Amino acid sequence: MKRPVLAAVLLMFVSFAFCGQVTFDDAEANMLQNSPAIKRSLLDFNMNKAALSRETGNRYDVKLNAGYGYGAGYDDNIITGDNSNFNSSLSEALPTGGNIFLNMNSSNYDPAQGATLNDSVGINIYQPLLRGLLGMPADNSIKSDEYAVQMSKESLRDAVTGSTGTLKKYFVQIYRQQQFLAQNTMAIECARNTLAAAKRGLSAGEQLEAKAFLLSRQAQQAGFENNIKSACEDFLNYAGYDGRDWDSLTIDTSSMTEEAYIPVTLTAELENTLIEVQPQVARAKIRYENTRLWMDQAGWSVFPQLDLNASMQLNGFGNNLTDSIKIISQGREKYYSAGLNFSFDIPNSGAVFDEKYQEARYESDLMNYRIIGNGFRRRIRDAWRKLQQAMSAYEMRKEASEAFLKRLEMVKGAFNAGSFNVREMNQSINDAANALSGEANSYYDYIAALSDWNRYSGKYESYFSGYMRDKAEN
């Protein structure tokens, strides 16, 4: 979409300061690796994944406890007996929120008159029947950590796609400044030709007018060149390049393209779909879903606590381990127990007010989700309208600049034939230059609006997918 009449002079005025070359894709890749905002979001994402792994591991770890103790009794420095104890247990969390324990104990008592060995193996089950049923609150902690991972991923998505959109605007700003320089260069060349013609046969006054116009255009040249340098530095800085390398890099704006699907009509269905995929909206939705999780748990907490405890134990004894194990295996010494434990805080104010707090928090987060969603509905509509307007304005500006350039050529011929004076010639140069500047501005507005639309419509999702794929490979 660049003007052929300007393309030949664009790089001529910036290449003298730079040696290397950077495309937009190069800068994008460098930004994804070096942007502090993206790095911070990635750290948060990895941190929440680690927290989820920790919570999941703790939830289903088999826990082993073991201990050994030894004691001895003395009377007038004569040992009267010694004893040793060994105990161990394995415990595992149940999906229903309870626990199962496997126990093994061995006690060896060796008084002076003879040794006695007592052993036991058993199983114990603890199960909440009201609070904590079906895995709460342990499962809720895992689910909450899953929500935290999802939210941090959406934040990372927002950082990547948002930074890409901003980088695109810095990129097109370079092109705009290059266009400004190109139109001023064209104006200088035309003004120089006008002055040469004026010296050949026009009055001294017209020669001075032609000279003044040329000088005024030449005076602007350094400013346009500096603006290009500043735009390049802004782009390279945002892309994460070290300031010491800026002077050795040039920006290749030949990759100034942006594809997009632009619907003719923004339907309600498309609008609703685009709203839900926005990272900020997705985060707000996950947040209220997480709050609902804890609101449900707070609702359970107002009930009394009722727990089931059950156990079975096999005992063995004898003067040696073989005898003890034989008795255990035969099940001659069995012990069973089962019971319920009931507890309830009266008036249970803490649980009641916590339930009210979580309900209010849920309503607040739900309302926030709707507010953010409506805000993005407004942004999406505005982005679509601005894109339509920017496309139309750019096409008209482009047509207008073509008309002014044709008119300039006509005025040149008439001026050389003596039909137009210097002032009319200078005005035509100004008109053409201003038209080209207007085209450059409208092109910037068009690409900026297109970039905003692509971000909202999910076009920049490919940058995020590629970023996540690279991180997974690394």
Q: Could you read off the pLDDT of 226-256 as tens digits, one per residue?
A: 999 999 999 999 999 999 999 999 899 887 6
pLDDT at 6 over 60: no
pLDDT at 79 over 60: no
- Torsion angle (degrees, nearest 10) of CA 159, 164, 170, 172: -160
**Could you tell me if 383 and 453 are in contact, meaning their C-beta atoms sit under 8 angstroms apart?**
yes
Q: Which residue has the higher pLDDT, 266 or 114?
A: 266
Sign of CA dihedral 221, 225, 226, 227: positive
Give the residue-averaged pLDDT of 309-321.
83
Assess whether 344 and 356 both reside in one domain.
no
Assess whether 13 and 38 both reside in one domain.
yes
- Phi and psi at residue 320, in whole multiples of 5°? -150, 170
Residues 15, 318: Cα–Cα separation, whole Å: 97
The 10s digit of each residue's pLDDT in 254-283 is 876 777 888 889 999 999 999 999 999 999
> Of 316, 348, 380, which residue is a domain's last?
348
76: left (phi over 0), alpha (psi -120 to 50) or beta: left
Q: How many domains does the chain have?
A: 2
Assess whether 328 and 179 both reside in one domain.
no
pLDDT at 352 over 90: no
Q: Is residue 334 part of a domain?
A: yes
- For residue 190, the model assigns a pLDDT of 94
State the CATH number of the domain containing residue 409.
1.20.1600.10
381 sits in which H/E element: helix 349-416
Q: What is the mean pLDDT of the chain?
A: 87
254 sits in which H/E element: none
Q: Which domain holds residue 327?
A: 67-133+306-348
Assess whether 144 and 46 both reside in one domain.
yes
Assess whether 325 and 429 both reside in one domain.
no
Query: Please, which pLDDT band fits residue 145 given cuts at 50, 70 and 90?
Result: very high
Q: Is residue 457 part of a domain?
A: yes
Assess whether 209 and 126 both reside in one domain.
no
Assess whether 127 and 271 both reside in one domain.
no
pTM equals 0.78
| Range with lowest mean pLDDT among 121-135, 336-350, 451-465 | 121-135
Assess whether 78 and 128 both reside in one domain.
yes
Assess whether 52 and 170 both reside in one domain.
yes
- Report percent pLDDT > 90 for the chain: 58
| Range with lowest mean pLDDT among 65-74, 85-94, 163-172, 334-343 | 65-74
Assess whether 50 and 145 both reside in one domain.
yes
- Report percent pLDDT > 70 for the chain: 90
Query: Please, which pLDDT band fits residue 135 given cuts at 50, 70 and 90?
Result: low
Assess whether 332 and 279 both reside in one domain.
no
Give the residue-averaged pLDDT of 336-353.
87
E runs forming strands in 10-62: 20-22
Residues 195, 215: Cα–Cα separation, whole Å: 11
Q: Is residue 222 part of a domain?
A: yes
Assess whether 89 and 177 both reside in one domain.
no
Q: Is residue 61 part of a domain?
A: no
Q: Is residue 62 part of a domain?
A: no
Q: Is 77 helix (H, G, I), strand (E, B) or coil?
A: coil
